[in-house]
Amino acid sequence: MATAFHHLSDYDPATIPSTKGMRFGIVVADWNDRYTYAMAEAAIETLKTHGVTDEDIEVKHVPGSFELVYGAAWMSRNMSVDAIIAIGCVIRGDTPHFDYICQGTTQGLAELNAKGGIPVIYGLLTCNTPEQAEARTGGVLGNKGTECAVTAIKMVAYNHKRRADGLPF
């Protein structure tokens, strides 16, 4: 659903599964840090609101959004986490660079999600203007980081249930 019709920070806390024993990784792009850091803070706060401890949240930084793919792949292979939240922000400029970064990052994260054993949550903002980024990182449309954390919790619970039912990936 388009963000214009859905506040990113709105969710029903009653629908959030228990986070007992869950570990989360967050890979944050430093490019456009005004927005990415706000999303990371919201994701961490949301995880903590639902009982995740500081010890169960691993945060790593990469230079830009394109590097989120490498950072998430590295984290999935080398850290004991149940889900990874990839957080980045790309704002359209005057060249096609925006399109290449958005497409490459999206494709890479989708591939990790499809082929990996843990969920990789897509937290890449692809905005036309800084105002759109502001609106989605704590502004009038909420914070994408909150939405990503809720998604991560639900996907880990989904994986735990699937495994408890003896279903393979």
Q: What pLDDT was estimated at residue 4?
A: 63
Q: Which of 6, 61, 97, 160 is flagged as catalytic? A: 97
Catalytic, 7? Answer: no
Confidence (pTM)? 0.95
Domains annotated on the chain, with CATH = 23-164 (3.40.50.960)
Over the range 41-68, which residues count as b (16 or more CB within 10 Å of their CB) and which as e? bbbbebbeeeebeeebbebebbebbbbb
pLDDT tens for residues 62-120? 999 999 999 999 999 999 999 999 999 999 999 999 999 999 999 999 999 999 889 99
**Contact yes or no for 104/64 (Cβ under 8 A):** no
Q: What pLDDT was estimated at residue 163?
A: 87
What are 120's strand-pairing partners? 84
**C-alpha–C-alpha distance, residues 48 and 50, integer Å:** 5
Q: What pLDDT was estimated at residue 90?
A: 98
Q: What pLDDT was estimated at residue 5?
A: 67
pLDDT tens for residues 64-77? 999 999 999 999 99
Torsion of CA 100, 88, 62, 74, to 10 degrees: -90
| pLDDT of 169 strictly over 80 | no
pLDDT tens for residues 20-60? 999 999 999 999 999 999 999 999 999 999 999 999 999 99
**Token pair in block for residue 115:** 């082929």
**C-alpha–C-alpha distance, residues 86 and 67, integer Å:** 10
82 — phi, psi (to 5°)? -95, -20
Q: What pLDDT was estimated at residue 9?
A: 87
| pLDDT of 154 strictly over 70 | yes
